[in-house]
Structure 1
């Protein structure tokens, strides 16, 4: 742009990667060091975890979510795992330098073509307190009087559509006791865990900020690759 720059003034500036996923530091180091890892993983629609063993090739961000791409030793093929679905700590599962990224591998393309980053829409059955939870009501496919519900008032049953339980749960949790998730189990569990974390911090759920569905928001994209 024709603007003079002062290179020495930039000394000390370091790039930062914005992620709240606890598994990110360990996976980034594993990619950097070429080290296999093991972790417990909760798949889509599951409430239990399974132990996975991975040779990590790279870490990729898409729509504000981070994914690790690599060779799954359990499946014997390349796989993509979302970091937010990793439960507990990521542990080393072999020596540094033992992971080799195949020539021509594009970890970003693998992650973007994988089914998990763009999950198919799923229905959710929820109870909405009568006269409340206007945001979910606007997004509901249908709303009808509930046959059974909590004894502390009148309730409607609604069907909502969502893609990502981890992103949709905080939105529903904002409505506190005006929304009860009935199904699917992974969304119900995600809402319960979010409310428990709020209580543990000593703060009540934030006031809903309107009907916008958080999972539709997009974030910056980035890639961390190993070679």
Structure 2
């Protein structure tokens, strides 16, 4: 029979794995008697775990939520995932200090085999300087989302009238926090940057949640950033590049690359405007043949005129280093 301490950990692990457990099943899984299971449940309660008992012939048990945070038990994969997530969160200027302290606490109690795995994975937030986000604001918004209560907010400063927002989702993208909600004053869906929100108290009345357009929150947010309704790029075109597909694919992002020969490939790519798409294709430093549409051809012509004027303004001899070969995908390390 297992020692009491190891048996308690096994019992706790079972209770965390599913909602309800008949007492007889727990006794069978632990290789002990039903009476021992009852005593072990009482010990877990003394440690702060809110284990409730259901009446019935089997005397079922359930691990619920309590008033205090008891010791937690994670398996190996959960522990590694938690520490990686805390590394990501520690880069957030609003939650960084608390996340760093939580990461240090978790790492300290990890077994050596897991600590080595975690130390081998270093996650950093990549991007520009982010505005700080108050952790209390995140919690307040999250509570309003769960309670389905209308938020009264000032957005981008207190000068304008307050906005009434039905909060639906709190999401993170590119190191920033965003609130997805239905703006009652605008009669439309909005994506608000949380660091630009000031909450007014108290919250408004409860509401019946609407469905996010398209039914997919991630696609909706991505679509708003891309300027389209369906999550795809509003401007999408096909070109043939004078480069091997293997050289283009690592830098194609969400584009689709197809090999056409040893030194040619097709690329289907998108952007928020035709000029932006043409400019992004220029980074490959290779011959570009537009297949479709005509709007992309016109964008290349417009850019050619602009660049020609810029070259003329540089005067004889051009800018420092003019005439030197560039280091694009076609030459060395790829687009900058």
> Normalising TM by the smaller chain, what interval?
0.3 to 0.5
Task: From the two aligned structures, give the one with the greater strand fraction.
Answer: 1
TM-score (norm 1): 0.39
TM-score (norm 2): 0.27
Kindly indicate whether structure 1 or structure 2 has the higher relative contact order, using CA contacts under 8 Å at least 6 residues apart.
1
Higher CA-based Rg: 2
Task: From the two aligned structures, give the one with the greater helix fraction.
Answer: 2
